């Protein structure tokens, strides 16, 4: 009995060890693992696929060639490593795409859209961030151009109509080779690809350029075998991709190819680690609004919307009179800029320092240059920093002395007093204990001289 019990315990421990994730304990909570995998067929492979995903700590996986007819959802896997499978197939049981969502994220799925047997998408609520996951399976090279055009038009429509404020991730088997070189697609291709580019790969790059996305596979340097996602005999290619919006490029932390020994499929799993957007902002990322965001915020007000519409209506004739595409675009652009200028106005620009002169500006610029070099080489130059500090100190001292020596310079004095009044409003000089002593003394002297000149003027 003891031997049987020990054998049962050892077998149970081995089974649990096979599905234990390798890095789930070390992975921070603010990241999510997103994978894409062409499994050939889900029939008879459900358990092996879910175990492989759980070992890698995958939260959401896009599956191509599921080959299950109809459309439905089903729980797969054992307790503790369960995934919900949403799939969309076709009547003949070929192709088909599906989505595997880890059990803890199921309640966060708010929408599932089954467009056809090649395109699906889900929306997931992650804290304050909305994540749109689009799953695609492009037609192979042997398919007709009409079928390919229908697929790319549908995918472009789906991705292009998603809100700009939400994250979008596209994963799937796109059946194209984007090549190793950038080749005119800067900002789309990261420069780390595999071998040569073909026509289907050119179509992928054109799609990414049109919807402003970047190919995450090509952002990370890997050995050639670490880029391969499909192996058939001696043939090795990269045809599976993860795509993100260019503005969310900084949220992708890693993309790698996983070779699973248990499943032994021709296609390899492509795995990416994505940081959750709102958590990164809380950790100190930049949250300042761009100028376009500020303009959009101003135009949300009803009164400004109407004013903007009136100005655009006045410019309608100029746009209609344009003869070619270039002139029409220029007239539309000028109309938008004119309307935005009249309705929203211009920003005041950066604050100017009265004490700054050419010598101090040059020293500060040199200091910034050496600071950037120090960030790259860790070789700090203290000499430039000291020179910049001395120049700034001497410029500030000149500014303090200049109003005292040039009392008759009314324009300069009004500028200084205007700046002081803007900063401290109507606060009494005697109560400004928080202000630096030298600055307070300067203000008192300036105020005494101004009041003395006023008395002299009245008496005269």
Whole-angstrom CA distances from 268 to 102, 118, 120, 172 are 20, 19, 21, 12
Least confident of 7-16, 193-202, 339-348, 413-422: 7-16
Query: Token pair for residue 31?
Result: 């990241």
Cα three-residue angle 68-72-75, rounded to 5 degrees: 90
Q: Which of 58-62, 163-167, 382-386 has maximum average pLDDT?
A: 58-62
Whole-angstrom distance, CA of residue 94 vs CA of residue 455: 96
pLDDT surpasses 70 at 300: no
What residues have CB less than 8 Å from 242, skipping those under 6 apart? 34, 36, 169, 170, 171, 215, 216, 217, 252, 255, 270, 272
- Average confidence (pLDDT) over 71-92: 88
Phi, psi angles (nearest 5°) of residue 239: -125, -5
Mean pLDDT for all residues in the chain: 77
pLDDT surpasses 90 at 351: no
Residue 190 is predicted with a pLDDT of 92
Whole-angstrom CA distances from 150 to 102, 116, 208, 260, 399 are 31, 11, 17, 33, 69
pLDDT digits (tens, 9 = 90+) for 215-231: 999 999 999 899 999 99
pLDDT digits (tens, 9 = 90+) for 98-118: 999 999 999 999 999 999 999
Three-class secondary structure of residue 392 per DSSP: helix
Least confident of 66-75, 275-284, 351-360, 408-417: 408-417
Q: For the chain, what percent of residues have pLDDT higher than 90?
A: 40
Residue 441 is predicted with a pLDDT of 60
Query: Token pair for residue 255?
Result: 């993309």
pLDDT surpasses 70 at 189: yes
Is the separation of the CB atoms in 170 and 214 below 8 Å?
A: no
Query: Token pair for residue 375?
Result: 């960030």
- Average confidence (pLDDT) over 188-198: 92
Parse the chain into domains and list their residue ranges: 9-282, 291-344, 407-460
Does 65 or 409 have the greater pLDDT score?
Answer: 65
Decide: pTM greater than 0.75: no
Whole-angstrom distance, CA of residue 188 vs CA of residue 218: 9
Least confident of 265-279, 338-352, 441-455: 441-455
pLDDT surpasses 50 at 432: no
Residue 74 is predicted with a pLDDT of 93
The widest CA-to-CA distance across the chain, in whole angstroms, is 119
- Strand locations in 127-224 (E): 129-137, 167-173, 213-215
Q: Which of 31-45, 348-362, 369-383 has maximum average pLDDT?
A: 31-45
Residue 118 is predicted with a pLDDT of 93
Least confident of 112-116, 310-314, 364-368: 364-368
Q: Residue 245 forms beta bridges with which residues?
A: 213
CATH number of 9-282: 3.60.10.10
């Amino acid at each position: 009995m003891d031997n049987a019990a020990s054998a049962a315990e050892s077998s149970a421990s081995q089974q649990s060890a096979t599905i234990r994730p390798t890095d789930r304990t070390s992975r921070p909570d603010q990241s999510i693992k997103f994978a894409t995998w062409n499994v050939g067929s889900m029939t008879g492979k459900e358990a092996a696929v879910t175990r492989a995903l759980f070992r890698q700590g995958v939260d959401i996986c896009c599956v191509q060639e599921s080959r299950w007819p109809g459309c439905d959802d089903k729980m797969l896997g054992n307790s503790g490593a369960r995934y919900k499978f949403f799939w969309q197939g076709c009547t003949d049981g070929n192709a088909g795409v599906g989505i595997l969502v880890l059990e803890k994220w199921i309640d966060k799925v708010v929408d599932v859209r089954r467009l056809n047997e090649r395109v699906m998408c889900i929306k997931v609520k992650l804290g304050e961030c909305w994540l749109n996951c689009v799953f695609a399976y492009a037609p192979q090279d042997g398919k007709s151009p009409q079928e390919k055009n229908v697929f790319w038009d549908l995918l472009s429509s789906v991705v292009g109509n998603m809100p700009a404020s939400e994250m979008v991730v596209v994963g799937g088997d796109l059946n194209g080779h984007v090549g190793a070189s950038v080749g005119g697609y800067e900002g789309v291709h990261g420069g780390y690809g595999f071998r040569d580019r073909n026509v289907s790969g050119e179509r992928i790059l054109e799609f990414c350029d049109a919807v402003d996305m970047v190919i995450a596979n090509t952002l990370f340097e890997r050995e050639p075998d670490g880029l391969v996602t499909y192996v058939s005999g001696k043939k090795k290619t990269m045809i599976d991709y993860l795509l993100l919006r260019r503005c969310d490029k900084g949220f992708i932390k890693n993309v790698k190819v996983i070779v699973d020994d248990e499943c032994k499929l021709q296609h390899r799993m492509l795995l990416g680690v994505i940081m959750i957007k709102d958590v990164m902002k809380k950790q100190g990322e930049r949250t300042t609004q761009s100028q376009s965001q500020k303009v959009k915020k101003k135009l949300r007000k009803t009164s400004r919307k109407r004013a903007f519409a009136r100005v655009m209506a006045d410019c309608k004739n100029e746009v209609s009179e344009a003869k070619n595409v270039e002139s029409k675009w220029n007239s539309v652009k000028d109309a938008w800029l004119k309307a935005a200028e009249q309705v929203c106005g211009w920003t005041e620009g950066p604050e100017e320092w009265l004490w700054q002169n050419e010598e101090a500006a040059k020293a500060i610029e040199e200091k910034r240059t050496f600071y950037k070099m120090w960030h790259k080489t860790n070789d700090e130059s203290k000499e430039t920093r000291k020179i910049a500090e001395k120049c700034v100190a001497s410029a500030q001292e000149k500014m303090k002395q200049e109003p005292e020596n040039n009392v008759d310079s009314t324009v300069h004095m009004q500028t200084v007093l205007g700046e002081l009044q803007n900063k401290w409003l109507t606060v009494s000089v005697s109560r400004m204990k928080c202000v630096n002593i030298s600055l307070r003394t300067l203000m008192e002297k300036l105020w005494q001289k101004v009041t003395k000149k006023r008395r002299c003027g009245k008496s005269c």
